[in-house]
Amino acid sequence: MSARVGGSNDVKEGHMRVFDVAGTNVNVANANGHLYGFDDTCTHMGCSLANGRLTGTVVTCACHGSQFDVTSGAVLRGPAERPVRSRTVQVKGDDLFIDA
């Protein structure tokens, strides 16, 4: 089931934004005009990935430098070992939906 979390233009290109989805912080990254959703909590020690840096489709955690592929949640560089959960993001008209 998906939930409406905001507007279709809420996340600008090259930026990330966190939305509350059923009590979980979900990050939506706009990479090259495409929106990708994933759980915002770094699997290393729990920092918010939104405080990190988005470069293309790679998010780098500000705490200890782990990198994740925003398109899949996969770990690209440790110290994190587990992927972040990927979420389906949909734009319907002016609305932004994320899978809960």
Choice between 5 and 69, CB closer to ligand FES: 69
CA distances 30 to 18, 25, 57, 62, Å, are 12, 16, 8, 18
The Cα–Cα gap between 77 and 13 comes to: 24
Choice between 30 and 66, CB closer to ligand FES: 66
The Cα–Cα gap between 54 and 69 comes to: 10
Choice between 44 and 85, CB closer to ligand FES: 44
* Residue 46 CB, nearest approach to ligand FES (Å): 6
State the residues that interact with ligand FES by CB under 6 A.
42, 44-47, 61, 63-66, 79-80
